[in-house]
Amino acid sequence: MKQSQLFPKTKKEAPKDAESINHKLLVRAGFMDQLMAGSWTLLPMGFKVVQKINQIIREEINAVGGQEMLMPLLHPKTIWNETGRWDKANEIMYKLKDSREKEYALSFTHEEIVMDLLRKTISSYKDLPVSIYHFSTKFRNELRAKSGILRGREFMMKDLYSAHASEEDLMEYYEKVKSAYSKIFTRLGFNFKIAKASGGVFTDKFTHEFQVLSDVGEDTIYWKEGDTEATNEEVMEGNKEEYISAKSIEVGNIFPLGTFYSERMRAYFTDRDGGKKPIWFGSYGIGPTRVMGTWVEVSHDDKGIIWSKQISPFDIHLVDLNGNGKEIYGKLIETGFDVLWDDREVSAGEKFGDSDLIGIPVRLVLSERNGDKVEYKERSKDESELLSLDEAIERLKK
RNA sequence: CGGAGUGUAGCGCAGUUGGUAGCGCGCUUCGUUUGGGACGAAGAGGUCCCCGGUUCAAAUCCGGGCACUCCGACCA
């Protein structure tokens, strides 16, 4: 991609009211734009990052048998009345009426919709288990949108739902998803903890949250040295002083919901013994847009963002000071790299400034000073070195 | 919803005692530059958040709205 054509241009200054790092940097670098409080456009580079995050999630969820689909966002009131959540989740739901006074909700989650689907399609234990998911928008009437893209009123979520013939099977799958989530956040490169927490409007039972350690986090978690799991402050029992604690950002959450939803919505199946039983149910969420914001919070410096190879919008930033990098650009593209080529007629300083701001992990500088070599520099390091193009390509392939 | 703050050019801001709006960046054109956001010259760009009031006169004073940000209560 030629940078001269990239939409939009970077900004020199952050929005004046922006406080959080993700808000300032993602807006300045041209990854997102605010429409109103808690509502964001993902601009081309922001969308690329989210797509990369989604792909990592997709691969790991598919690996535990998840089947991707897509559910609607406009839901009838009647279905939410079946579980009582039209009233119970009143504060978080956006509700609206059409011209005939029929009432709807904008989706804040999909348990009821999935359960409706299951009761229409599952009749025997032979039809179970089922694991289905989608990536879609969630609407939540947050009392206060804040922290850039970390808490929006409209955001992207991957939500997975699983249905089982027994509690044992549900819990076995729950553990599978827990380890799939661990793989996802490990691949994404986060320092995270799995924390025991409460279920909010989803369930009275325990749940597990995936928490990335960061000072801008809204949660506080506690653990003891050597513990694999932590505990969210909201369900913390015992003496806090005996634990290590840290602020954290919740990037994922898994819920073993049990049979509450299936009983309320009469989603039964016929078991091996001929008896009619409620479906065992679980749901599992990750917020990819929040993941993007969280990454920026934990990986930046005073000049800009520092993306990882896994989720960077481009593989290489080709900073062309001569204006004659067309051939090298072509060769890098041919080799299979996704390259942002700074072909603009602006000063070197501006190119370097934008390069640091955008934060692509590898920068290749073309300049007369370098002769026929390219200057290879990693965004996360200070030093650079001169390499032949072939050497640079070899290094990039690793 | 409680507390605090802000709203003036695309962005960041200044605007004194009420007298009809300016600075920096960005943008356009021309020229000079080209390794860390360069320089000169000439331009374009305004519903001073909205509505009402006071006044000869309102960005400025008064009343009422709206929006955004931060803190708190609630949550991927």
What is the distance in angstroms measured between the alpha-carbon CA of A321 and the sugar C1' of B49? 43
Share of chain A above pLDDT 90, in %: 77
Is strand B less than 7 A from the beta carbon of A112? no
Q: Is the peptide bond before A8 cis (omega within 30 degrees of 0)?
A: yes
A197 shares a domain with A90: yes
Residue A331's domain is classified under what CATH number? 3.40.50.800
Share of chain A above pLDDT 70, in %: 99
What is the distance in angstroms measured between the alpha-carbon CA of A71 and the sugar C1' of B37? 46
pLDDT at A234 (0 to 100)? 83
Phi, psi angles (nearest 5°) of residue A301: -135, -170
To the nearest whole number, what is the mean pLDDT of chain A?
A: 93
A351 shares a domain with A281: no
A54 shares a domain with A184: yes
pTM (2 d.p.): 0.96
What is the distance in angstroms measured between the alpha-carbon CA of A97 and the sugar C1' of B37? 51
Minimum CA–C1' distance nucleotide for A197 = B75
**Average pLDDT of the segment spanning A173-181:** 97
Residue A267's domain is classified under what CATH number? 3.30.930.10
Distance (Å, rounded) from C-alpha A312 to C-alpha A99?
45
Work out how many domains chain A is built from and give that number.
Answer: 2
pLDDT digit string, tens, across residues A184-195 = 999 999 999 999
Is strand B less than 7 A from the beta carbon of A90? no
A388 shares a domain with A297: no
Residue A367 lies in a domain: yes
pLDDT digit string, tens, across residues A154-163 = 999 999 999 9
What is the distance in angstroms measured between the alpha-carbon CA of A13 and the sugar C1' of B46? 21
A290 shares a domain with A209: yes
pLDDT at A16 (0 to 100)? 80
A7 shares a domain with A152: yes
pLDDT digit string, tens, across residues A271-304 = 999 999 999 999 999 999 999 999 999 999 999 9
A209 shares a domain with A167: yes
Nearest Cα to A391, choosing from A370, A310, A308?
A: A370
Nucleotides of strand B within 7 Å of the protein's CB atoms: 1-2, 5-6, 11-13, 24-26, 33-38, 67-76
Is strand B less than 7 A from the beta carbon of A140? yes
Distance (Å, rounded) from C-alpha A308 to C-alpha A270?
49
Minimum CA–C1' distance nucleotide for A92 = B75
Residue A346 lies in a domain: yes
Q: Nearest residue to nucleotide B11 when comparing alpha carbons to its C1'?
A: A13
Residue A343's Cα: distance from chain center in Å? 32
pLDDT higher than 80, residue A119 = yes
Is strand B less than 7 A from the beta carbon of A381? no
**Average pLDDT of the segment spanning A20-33:** 91
**How many CB atoms neighbour CB A227 within 10 A?**
13
pLDDT digit string, tens, across residues A229-277 = 899 988 888 788 888 988 899 999 999 999 999 999 999 999 999 999 9
Q: What is the ipTM of this complex?
A: 0.90
**Average pLDDT of the segment spanning A359-386:** 95
Of the CA atoms within 13 Å of residue A6, those in its CB half-sphere come to 25
Range from A16-30, A74-88, A116-130, A333-347 carrying the lowest mean pLDDT = A16-30
Of A301, A327, A357, the residue at which a domain comes to its end is: A301
pLDDT at A338 (0 to 100)? 98
- Kind of pairing, strands A130-139 and A67-68? parallel
CA dist A12 → A24, A31, A43, A107, A392 (Å): 11, 14, 17, 37, 31
Minimum CA–C1' distance nucleotide for A352 = B36
SS (H, E, C) A58-97: HHHHHHCCCEECCCCCEEEHHHHHHHCHHHHCCCCCEEEE
Interface residues 231-260 of A with strand B (CB < 7 Å): 234, 250-253
The burial class, CB within 10 Å (0-12 / 13-18 / 19+), for A7 is: exposed
Distance (Å, rounded) from C-alpha A164 to C-alpha A142?
32
Distance (Å, rounded) from C-alpha A273 to C-alpha A292?
48
Better-predicted residue by pLDDT, A101 or A179 = A179
pLDDT at A293 (0 to 100)? 94
Residue A189 lies in a domain: yes
Is strand B less than 7 A from the beta carbon of A343? no
Is strand B less than 7 A from the beta carbon of A342? no
pLDDT digit string, tens, across residues A46-62 = 999 999 999 999 999 99
A195 shares a domain with A83: yes
Distance (Å, rounded) from C-alpha A251 to C-alpha A239?
26
Is strand B less than 7 A from the beta carbon of A142? yes
Find the domain containing A219 and state its range: 3-301
pLDDT at A267 (0 to 100)? 97
Nearest Cα to A159, choosing from A197, A187, A131, A179?
A: A131
Nearest Cα to A315, choosing from A299, A332, A342, A337?
A: A337
In the three-class reduction of DSSP (H, G, I as helix; E, B as strand; rest coil), residue A128 is classed as: coil
pLDDT at A13 (0 to 100)? 84
pLDDT at A114 (0 to 100)? 97
Distance (Å, rounded) from C-alpha A38 to C-alpha A140?
10
Is strand B less than 7 A from the beta carbon of A293? no
Banded pLDDT at A332 (limits 50, 70, 90): very high
Banded pLDDT at A206 (limits 50, 70, 90): confident
pLDDT digit string, tens, across residues A315-330 = 999 999 988 899 999 9
Residue A345 lies in a domain: yes
Is strand B less than 7 A from the beta carbon of A353? yes
Residue A308 lies in a domain: no
